[in-house]
Amino acid sequence: MSRIGVFGGMGPSATVDFLDKLVKLTPALRDQDHLPVIVASLPHIHDRSSAILGHGRDPLPQLLAGIQMLNQAGVGVIAIPCNSSHHWFDEMSNCSKAPLLHIGKTCVEAIPLVGDPRVAIFSTRGALKSGFYQRELLARGIDFLLPAADGGQTEVDSCIREIKAGNFEAGGLHLTRACVEVVQQGATLLILGCTEIPIASRYADVRGLALIDSSLELARASVSFALARGWNRPGWDS
């Protein structure tokens, strides 16, 4: 039997949200039908966005240590419900025996190609500078826009900060303001490219936008990977 490894804590609320989605997506009638999961919640990892922007401590040694911890626990795949950490996806993959699921790829693959969607990306400034969402979208020929650095992005930054502090309604208010801006710019679909933002979306007005939830898409990919390998049927006594 193998297990899903979840490298979380970046942040804790986003990790809980991801795990909740993982459970709800699993077809199960009883405890024994669920998928085995090992969670490493490591909130003290240095801020990923700050490091990418060049004014924070390098989190890569800590990220690699977390990957090593999950490999030592015998996981068969690793999901990381933190978008900005995927800036170091190649480095983490190269040191892992278990494959890593890429949060950006799962989101972009979920975008319907009918109707010519106009995609906006909400994420940390670090993840946007890293550019992995932009590269995945361009590879599929999908046009996109980003919030204004001194306008909508400031609201996104505040949204993420409030959710991390547990102020969900305040986070939703900032998200609403950011959504108004990109709708005015013509966006019809929004990538929630930070795992705090899906939490805020429950407290926000997102009318006019179809949502691609990075936490949900990563959970879907994790469940699909595990079910395809029968990890919900370990062969133990019923």
pLDDT in tens, 95-117: 999 999 999 999 999 999 888 89
Residue 237 has pLDDT above 60, yes or no: no
Quickly tell me which residue has 């609201």 as its tokens: 155
CATH, domain range 105-214: 3.40.50.1860
The answer to whether 121 touches 191, Cβ cutoff 8 Å, is yes
The answer to whether 133 touches 124, Cβ cutoff 8 Å, is no
Any idea what DSSP says for residue 87? G
Q: Do domains 4-102+217-228 and 105-214 have the same CATH topology?
A: yes
Average of per-residue pLDDT values in the chain: 96
**Tokens standing for residue 205:** 């007005």
With left for phi above 0 and alpha for psi between -120 and 50, is residue 228 left, alpha or beta?
A: alpha
For residues 13-39, one letter each, b for 16 or more C-beta atoms within 10 angstroms of the residue's C-beta and e for the rest, the string is: ebbebbbebbeebbeeeeeeeebebeb
Q: What is the pLDDT of residue 96?
A: 98
Pairing between β-strand 210-213 and β-strand 189-192 as defined by DSSP bridges: parallel
Phi, psi for residue 77 in degrees, rounded to 5: -160, 155
Residue 33 has pLDDT above 70, yes or no: yes
Q: d(Cα 102, Cα 107) in Å, to the nearest integer?
A: 9
What is this structure's pTM?
Answer: 0.96
* Topology of domain 4-102+217-228, CATH: Rossmann fold (3.40.50)
**CA separation (Å) from 35 to 14, 23, 52?**
20, 8, 34
**Tokens standing for residue 236:** 């133990």
Q: Is 205 exposed, middle or buried (0-12, 13-18, 19+ CB in 10 A)?
A: middle
Average pLDDT over residues 26-47: 97
Q: What is the pLDDT of residue 238?
A: 38
Any idea what DSSP says for residue 137? H
Phi, psi for residue 36 in degrees, rounded to 5: -75, 135
**Tokens standing for residue 45:** 């990892």
How do the domains of the chain map onto residue ranges?
4-102+217-228, 105-214
If DSSP codes are grouped into helix, strand and coil, which group holds residue 168? helix
Q: What is the pLDDT of residue 115?
A: 82
